[in-house]
Structure 1
Amino acid sequence: MRRVALLPPRLRRPVSALLLSLGLALPAPAALADAPAGILTVTAPWEVSSLDPARHGYVFTRLQIAETLVDVDKAGGLVPGLAEGWQVDAAGVVWTLTLRRGVLFHDGTPMTAETVAAALRTAAAKPGPLASAPLESIAVGGPETVVIRLKEPFAPLLATLAGTAAQILAPASYGPDGTVTQVIGTGPFRLTEVKPPQSLAAERFDRYWGQPAGVGKMTYLAAGRGETRAMMAESGDADVVYTLDPASRQRLQRNPAVTVQALPLPRTVSVKLNAGDPALSDLRVRRALALAVDRGGIATGLLREPGSAAGQMFPPGTGDWPLPEGLPLRADLTQAAALLTEAGWVPGSDGLRSRDGKPLKLTLRTFPDRPELPVIATALQAQWREIGVDVAVSVGNSSDVPAGHRDGTLQMALMARSFGLVPDPLVTALQDFGPGGGDWGAMNWSSPAMEQALATLKRGTDPATATGLRQTVSRILLAELPVIPVSWYQQTVAVSKRVSGLTLDPYERSYRLSEVTWVR
């Protein structure tokens, strides 16, 4: 593959040092000379650690390199993507998808029913939302149709087909064992170079079936530190910079060279709890921790978004899942302390609690990819100390959360869970709160009532019953607290005034870079 410049020539010393520390060589002067004319530079926290859609497929859909059969409109409704339509039989078990005509993969091969069925079968064999569907077969139904047969009705099937793990790749993308060796998609941008885990380059695919991209070339750099990303936006070393910490966002809003955008996402910052832990198995302790959180203070003082305080798990924009009630947005330290005392945890001379000589000491894990998380974790540490709980904060990698879930070492984790990447909250709820819990959901917690409600929603039911069951799921989470909601999430981006046309996707599926054009 040919070399593509990673950054334009206005590199400042700190950014150059960053690239060198990552093992990335700076482009030659001749390449730099051409960079401003047509290379859109994009920076975000997310590493390109894997080409496999089941692991990091969201990177390639956000950058519009790969696409899915089903897409999502601005209101969260399911709309045609690579499939132009679909129908289901009366029993709800046979789905027929009609494919869009004239679609080419980036290697020039046509998208056919055979290639789509093969890609879906590969996706279904790996961990992900589609694997949770009760699939019986995925087969070719005709020259332009794919037929999915289910063992039983599965209401959110179309939403799983819109998930990034179900992106459609060309046959040449896969090795003999189904491993993805290269990403050959159908999007408006074609991948030209990838350097895991930090960077990739792409160019406009001129034979794209839809509206062509407005810029000819694009590069992406994963920068984990929020300060680094903000610096790149300030210095002009990146044209589009995603996921800003609150302080950087306010500073960049005063910068005349950039425009800052923000948009609420269906993503909730929450604390995952190990309900099997000796202390956290007691609902009174979990509820005390939840009541001690000053959600309003965090939203106003740290996030600088007063409306982002979250008293429940499902955020606005997720249909009828949110409840009219929720946890208090201001801390109730009196009630929290009373619950801990009732559970047998009494304060010592230093104010910290213990029971039977054992201190109430917990560890909260989090990660810096989303820059507000470590800041919120420190605030939670202080708030919980006010009720006598000694919490240590451990900032590591995002992979530490699922790893701790699996090996049983996790006590608490602060994370940001999306209910929009698969555009039906039911799919995420099934993964997180169904039997056995999930890496990013319940841990050593179960509820027969929850399992029954999710099972009925999964099979499908009439609209009125479905609404009642969704509210039941939300109320069980509020009552049992396997996770503690803290705040709603805001997507933020700083955009250089050298470009125009960028808008934010309320479901964070696409960065919509194909809509960007250069300001002349």
Structure 2
Amino acid sequence: MIRSTTSALVAIFLTATQAFAQAEAPLTVAAQFEIQGAEPSTSGYVFTRMGITETLVNADAQGRLTPGLATEWAVSDDNLTWRFTLRQGVVFHDGTPMDADAVVKALTIAMGKPGSLASLPIEGIAAGDGAVVIRLREPRAALPAYLAEFGTQIMAPAAYGDDGQARDVIGTGPYRVTDFAPPLSLDATAFDGYWGAQPFIADVAYDAVSRVETRALMAQSGDADVVFGLDPASVARLGMSDAVKVHSVAIPRTLLLKVNAGHPALSQPEARRALSLAIDRQGIAQAVLRYPEGADQLFPPSVAGWHNDDIEPLAYDPAAAAQLLAGLGWVKGDDGILTRDGERFALTLTTYPDRPELPLIAAVLEQQFRQIGVELTINATNSSEIPAGHQDGSLDLGLIARNFSLIPDPIGTVISDYAPTGDWGAMNWENPAFVDLVKGIARDGGTDADRAEAVRILQSDLPVIPIAWYQQTLAAASDLRGVTVDPFERSFGLQDLQRSE
């Protein structure tokens, strides 16, 4: 009798201990992005998404700007001086106040590093009475949107060394860092001094996991509560699991081919159109990505003001592609590959496995291009090879996923990518009329007609070739409530998550 009672008590104790441990376990996010260090310009997207750091301006699910650490903003009559009124009573995780001097220091440091602020015509940033004042050399209508980009996150003065390099991650968000182990992980806990609502779950963690198969297994086994960067096969498998729920939303991101328009075989718009006509977008979307349809223009419908329903959509027509190439003097050889003046139509496509769908689509493109006589060699490597190849001129084609929402107003990405060229956009493409048009939109916001004309030019010249519009898909533990997918990829929404009782 005593033995039976003791065994029962032990069982009850173990069950209670396990339940307590489970309740106290941190909420773990697994994604493919490594943490390069404490520097916002390189790893800030992890810190903002984890709710550790914040920006002056936020954006809602429709891309509308909302208050962040700044409660309001206004511009002078000449559109050259902006005043951002700061939220009162906010403190950093080290207890120091988030005041105008601290914000000026953070923004000044950010302005001196690669990122959105470095591209702006900023004459000066100064502290005002409870506000930050930014003076421009020429107008920028979208300046508040630039201050929602992760590179402009505000960290405490103590976070930076004398050289301006970030040494620690000290933000103002609902979570503060408790353990930082780049490139693979960080732990954080709820910040008691947060100015907003307290998180429901106290402890969170981030794991950088490079292999998609491993991330999927972590979701299925419960080793991670929220998992990003899943391939279509994993999404289909996890969709049948009771342990997780799969959540998806259309996002302002496009899968596209970055084209070296200076390459002898690609310098004419007709050649780029031929490649576009060879791409079966619908087949790729449905068979590879498990999306309902491909992209018939660069900007998805979710990019307000830049999606143009009036332009002729990109089509799939290999026969028309072959005719265009024949008109450019290309002739098929005995092996089916085109030649012109003794040169084979042979290209290298560079892509990266960080996004597991990209190598799969590269393999499909290799087959589709071969059908029109174009030989494609796939180079699946580090994503940094794309901008490096842009800079040294060695890139032929790059298969990438381009986000048009890191700066919530798309003009921020458009002007950096296409006016005239950018590491992730156009390469060796010149269109002075387009550059003037886009710079005008950047100055004063432009009109719907201006944006429609810009989209028409991109559709005609094809400095990049759109393939598919993205969906953001994540797998979350089935016991989590309040899961949302941020289409602008600014937040994981951890502070709103709750575990079911």
TM-score by length of 2: 0.94
Aligned to 2:77: 90
TM-superposed CA distance for 1:442, in Å, is 0.7
Is 1:492 the equivalent of 2:473? yes
Structure-2 residue corresponding to 1:100? 87
How many residue pairs end up in the alignment? Answer: 485
In the other structure, the counterpart of 2:43 is 56
Question: Could you say if the C-alpha distance between residues 503 and 275 of structure 1 is closer, same or farther in structure 2, counting changes exceeding 3 Å?
Answer: same
Q: Within the alignment, does 1:457 sit opposite 2:441 as a pair?
A: yes
Identity %: 50
Q: CA deviation at 1:31?
A: 12
Structure 1, gaps ≥5 residues long: 1-29
Partner deviation per Cα, 1:239-295 (whole Å, 9 max, x = no partner) = 110121111111101001111001110000000011111111122211100111101
Counterpart for residue 419 of structure 1: 404
Q: CA deviation at 1:34?
A: 3.9
Distance in 2 between the 1:254 and 1:174 partners? 47
After TM superposition, the structure 1 = structure 2 runs for residues 115-514 of structure 1, keeping only pairs within 5 Å, are 115-142=102-129, 144-307=130-293, 309-325=294-310, 328=313, 330-435=315-420, 437-460=421-444, 466-514=447-495
Residues 62 and 510, structure 1, Cα contact 8 Å, conserved in 2 = yes
Give the CA RMSD over aligned residues: 1.6
Alignment check: 8 A CA contact 1:43 1:220 kept: yes
Indicate the residue corresponding to 1:41 in structure 2: 28
- Which secondary structure state, in structure 1, belongs to the residue aligned with residue 38 of structure 2? coil
Structure 2 counterpart of 1:353, one-letter code: L
Shift of 1:33: 8.8
Query: Within 2, Cα distance between the matches of 1:214 and 1:268?
Result: 34
Deviation at 1:328, TM superposition (A): 4.9
Given that residues 267 and 488 in structure 1 are in contact (C-alpha distance below 8 angstroms), is that contact kept between their aligned partners in structure 2? yes
1:112 alignment partner in structure 2: 99
Counterpart of 1:345, as a letter, is W
Alignment check: 8 A CA contact 1:311 1:326 kept: no
- 1:458 is matched by which residue type in structure 2? A
CA distance in 2, matches of 1:32, 1:363: 54
Which stretch shows the higher mean deviation, 179-188 or 498-507? 498-507
Partner of 2:5: none
Return the offset for 1:35. Answer: 6.0
CA offset at residue 378 of structure 1?
A: 0.9
Deviations 1:368-391 (A, max 9, x none): 111111111111111111100000
Shift of 1:498: 3.0
How far residue 329 of structure 1 moved from its aligned partner, in angstroms, is 5.7
Contact 2:210 2:354 in 1 (8 A): yes
Checking the alignment, whether the CA contact within 8 Å between 1:124 and 1:130 is kept in structure 2 is: yes
CA distance in 2, matches of 1:329, 1:382: 19
Do 1:297 and 1:330's aligned partners in 2 also have CA atoms closer than 8 Å?
Answer: no
Q: Over residues 337-381 of structure 1, what are the superposed CA-to-partner deviations in whole Å (9 max), with x where a residue is unaligned?
A: 011111111111221111122111101111111111111111111
Secondary structure of residue in 1 paired with 2:128: strand
CA distance in 1, matches of 2:375, 2:261: 18
What residue in structure 1 maps to residue 62 of structure 2? Answer: 75
1:205 partner amino acid = F
| Structure 2 gap ranges (5+) | 1-16
CA distance in 1 between counterparts of 2:85 and 2:310 reads 42
Counterpart secondary structure, 1:48: coil
Give distance in 2, aligned partners of 1:160 and 1:357.
Answer: 49
TM-score normalised over the length of structure 1 = 0.91
Q: Supply the AA of the counterpart residue of 2:499.
A: W
CA distance in structure 2 between the aligned counterparts of 1:350 and 1:425, rounded to whole angstroms: 44
Cα deviation per residue 1:17-41 (whole Å; 9 max; x = unaligned)? xxxxxxxxxxxxx999946523111
Cα gap change, 1:510/1:393 in structure 2, threshold over 3 Å: closer, same or farther?
same
Aligned-pair CA distance for 1:320: 1.6
Q: Counterparts of 2:336 and 2:35 in 1: how far apart (Å)?
A: 46
How far apart are the structure 1 equivalents of 2:311 and 2:328?
23
Q: 1:327 to 1:399 in 2, by over 3 A?
A: farther
Question: The residue matched to 1:432 in structure 2 has which SS?
Answer: helix
Please list the CA deviations of residues 291-321 of structure 1 after superposition, one character each: whole Å capped at 9, or x if unmatched.
Answer: 11101111111111113x1011111111121
Hey, what's the Cα distance between the residues in 1 that align with 2:329 and 2:38?
Answer: 50
Return the index of the structure with the highest Cα Rg: 2
* Corresponding residue number in structure 2 for 1:26: none
Q: Is contact 1:71-1:78 (8 Å) kept?
A: yes
Amino acid across the alignment from 1:455: K
- Quote the Cα distance in structure 2 between the aligned partners of 1:452 and 1:375: 38
What is the CA-CA distance between 1:326 and the residue it aligns to? 5.2
